[in-house]
Amino acid sequence: METTLAAVYCEGWEAGLVNPFTPDQAESRDSVGEPYSVVLLAGGRPHTVLDISWAEGYFAVTRLDLAGRKVAAHELRRAPEGDLFLRVSSTGAGPEAARHRTTWQISGRRTDFIEPAGDRGGHYDLVDVAPPRLPIPSFGRWKPLLDRTARVHAEICTEDYRDACVIPRETEGPFRITNADTHGLPMATTDVRPWHPPRPMRPRRLDALFRNGAERSADERRLSVSTHQAGKLNLPSGRLVAADPSWLDDQEPFLATVEPGTYPVTISLATFTDDPEHQRVAAVRLDVTDRRPVTWELALREGQDPLDLGYGEFFGFAVETGRACLVDEDNLARLAGEADDLQLTGQPFRNHADGDLIAWSSGWGDGYYPIWIGRDFAGRATTFVADMLLLSSDG
């Protein structure tokens, strides 16, 4: 006997429909890549929630139990070839419930994290296996994805893992999806979306950070930008490292490399217009060529994958002493000891050891900061910018 799952549409599910809309409105969003959600009802009860945003190549399946708890989740992402691959499959219904989380890398590495007793501990298993892949479905044609994720979930839950797997409440036989005529679900209208697609942080107006006289805002105060030359940085290996100068030991360089050489560094200083004595470093730019960048991307280290980033997140370098620096990987060991005592008293930046290290005071202080790579039309790196996240995007 075929079971019917009735679909209703909204901006998200949060114990009810948030900002509901019609099937036509949902299909319009689907066609232009705008995020939306589908709640599938079985017997009038919420059974599965789909969160979809094709602009990010994102499709998430959350399965609910009879009490409305999230017991299983699956995240699919767009592969470079254009189809979808299963990125994450997880289960669990509470801090003390058995849980597992399986993550695939597009390169073919699967990681299983098993927590037999919930928050009380777990262990990892690694295996080389390609992730399940599926074509991107047209609007409303989601059944193959639901079938496949349920089947993969069952395959993962072998006898070794079964105690750590919450088996999702699935329809046993064949089912179909149709639009709901009516429903009795609670509804809410709000300006705050219950979920965001995984859009990592993007650089915001980096050009204005290096335009003399540009005014920006920070914490409801106005600042004026000025640029200053910090000399040239020596990159004998072409492998750039950004770090706190007190923690140079065992730092990893960025994956993007440049030709070994010596390159100019520019400091962007932001001066508070109501307090001209108050200055902070807003950004630092390393120019590899004089070509203008046409695209920007986040600088990554070994093992970092942008697919691991959620909404507004980024991979950054850590600052723990209020100071940051750029240095070549080949100079790390030699400079590790002496850079720890490097002082910036009375000056916002410093060229150290004849250009082997350039240090500066880090924006608002300690934290994590991104490095952006600018590339030209041919995809060649032209610029590295350390964004100290000092300024907002307006102005």
**Beta bridge mates, 240:** 328
Q: Which residue has the higher pLDDT, 355 or 130?
A: 355
**Please, which pLDDT band fits residue 221 given cuts at 50, 70 and 90?**
confident
Distance CA 141, CA 49 (A): 15
Cβ count within 10 A of residue 22: 11
SS3 279: strand
By residue count, the chain amounts to 395
- 343, amino acid identity: Q
* Cβ contact 260:202 at 8 Å: no
Q: The tokens 């705050």 sit on which residue?
A: 192
Distance between the two ends of the chain, CA-based, in angstroms? Answer: 62
What's the maximum distance between 2 C-alpha atoms anywhere in the chain? 79
- 170, amino acid identity: E
Q: The tokens 């993550």 sit on which residue?
A: 103
26 has a pLDDT exceeding 90: yes
Tokens describing residue 295: 């695209």
Tokens describing residue 325: 């620096």
Instruction: Flag whether the pTM goes above 0.95.
Output: no
Q: Are strands 175-179 and 221-235 parallel, antiparallel or unpaired?
A: unpaired
Q: What is the mean pLDDT of residues 51-62?
A: 96
* Cβ contact 361:217 at 8 Å: no
Distance CA 159, CA 126 (A): 17
Distance CA 310, CA 321 (A): 27
pLDDT at 171: 42
**Please, which pLDDT band fits residue 247 given cuts at 50, 70 and 90?**
very high
pLDDT at 98: 66
Q: What is the mean pLDDT of residues 32-46?
A: 94
Q: What is the mean pLDDT of residues 195-215?
A: 92
Contacts of 382 (CB under 8 A, 6+ apart): 287, 288, 289, 291, 292, 293, 374, 375, 376
Q: Which of 94, 86, 87, 139 is CA-nearest to residue 118?
A: 94
342 has a pLDDT exceeding 80: yes
Q: Which of 383, 231, 248 is CA-nearest to residue 328?
A: 248
Q: What is the mean pLDDT of the chain?
A: 89
Q: What is the mean pLDDT of residues 133-144?
A: 93
32 has a pLDDT exceeding 70: yes
Distance CA 355, CA 335 (A): 12
**Beta bridge mates, 187:** 17
Q: What is the mean pLDDT of residues 41-62?
A: 94
Domain ranges of the chain: 3-188, 206-387
160 has a pLDDT exceeding 70: no
Q: How far is CA 319 from CA 125, 202, 212, in A?
A: 32, 20, 27
pLDDT at 363: 78
